[in-house]
């Protein structure tokens, strides 16, 4: 089945500080446009450590937080308050500091275990046909969210929206991830990529090597913010 081609715009910054400032500005711009367009803004947050500085900058964002809806691209199957939870990183760095109604923040219930959490989150996403903005990171092996090389990515259009991941190479092994197909149902996608360790993954990506990041194919362009 021929999938939509991915069209990337590569943006290089001097360091993570500059990348983070640009990332935060892009998020706020996307929110302004979505709220003006249809009165609300749906965003999917990236996990890992790279987005932390962007999230901290978002605390002082000039926006109507009551219009925001927050989802997560993936989550580790750990207790809710575990320090390695993506939801905890986002809360501590950003969401606990702004007035987004808690009912509009949708963490993945990964503490339920991969299969149960994936089924529950698929129901949560059923009411969101298209995200306004999807944020993603990139692993040194080319993974994104919890979609890893050699594993299921759910790239086909009829793939399930949320995948149970049982043997992730990046600990913890049990995770929950939106599928590549579901992550691609977005008006905008922005990758935040920091650290020389990602150079080879980016080179592979730019050479068209079939890595999970390449399977994120929204109708529009994909913006990739790099600090190398």
Which stretches of the chain bind ligand 6PG, using CB under 6 A? 46-50, 74, 76, 86, 137-139, 143-146, 170
DSSP 8-state code for residue 67: G
Q: How far is the CB of 76 from ligand 6PG (least distance, A)?
A: 6
Closest CA to 52 of 11, 23, 81: 23
Q: How far is the CB of 154 from ligand 6PG (least distance, A)?
A: 15
Q: How far is the CB of 145 from ligand 6PG (least distance, A)?
A: 5
Q: How far is the CB of 216 from ligand 6PG (least distance, A)?
A: 12
Of 26 and 143, the one with the shorter C-beta distance to ligand 6PG is 143
Of 68 and 72, the one with the shorter C-beta distance to ligand 6PG is 72
**DSSP character string of 183-195:** HTSEEEEEEEE-S
DSSP 8-state code for residue 48: S
Q: How far is the CB of 228 from ligand 6PG (least distance, A)?
A: 13
How many CB atoms neighbour CB 169 within 10 A? 12
Task: Collapse the DSSP code of 3 into the 3-class scheme (helix H, G, I; strand E, B; otherwise coil) and give the result.
Answer: coil
By the 8 A CB rule, do 151 and 167 touch? yes
The alpha-helical segments, DSSP class H, found in the chain are 16-38, 52-58, 86-93, 114-125, 180-183, 199-206
C-alpha radius of gyration, the chain, whole number: 16
Of 74 and 227, the one with the shorter C-beta distance to ligand 6PG is 74
Of 145 and 211, the one with the shorter C-beta distance to ligand 6PG is 145
Of 100 and 135, the one with the shorter C-beta distance to ligand 6PG is 135
């Amino acid at each position: 089945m021929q999938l939509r081609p991915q069209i990337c715009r590569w943006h290089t910054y001097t360091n993570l500080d500059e990348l983070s400032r640009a990332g935060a500005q892009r998020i706020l711009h996307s929110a302004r446009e979505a709220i003006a367009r249809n009165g609300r803004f749906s965003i999917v947050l990236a996990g890992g450590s790279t987005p932390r500085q962007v999230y901290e900058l978002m605390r002082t964002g000039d926006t109507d937080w009551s219009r925001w809806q927050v989802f997560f691209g993936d989550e580790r199957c750990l207790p809710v308050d575990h320090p390695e939870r993506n939801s905890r990183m986002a809360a501590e760095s950003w969401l606990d500091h702004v007035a987004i109604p808690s009912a509009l923040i949708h963490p993945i219930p990964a503490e339920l275990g991969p299969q149960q959490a994936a089924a529950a989150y698929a129901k949560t996403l059923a009411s969101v046909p298209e995200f306004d903005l999807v944020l993603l990171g990139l692993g040194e092996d080319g993974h994104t969210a919890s979609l890893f090389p050699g594993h299921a990515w759910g790239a086909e259009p009829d793939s399930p929206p949320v995948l149970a991941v049982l043997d992730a190479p990046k600990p913890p092994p049990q995770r929950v991830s939106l599928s590549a197909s579901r992550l691609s149902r977005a008006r905008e996608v922005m990758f935040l990529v920091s650290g020389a360790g990602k150079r080879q993954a980016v080179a592979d990506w730019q050479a068209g090597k079939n890595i999970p990041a390449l399977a994120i194919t929204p109708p529009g362009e994909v913006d990739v913010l790099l600090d190398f």
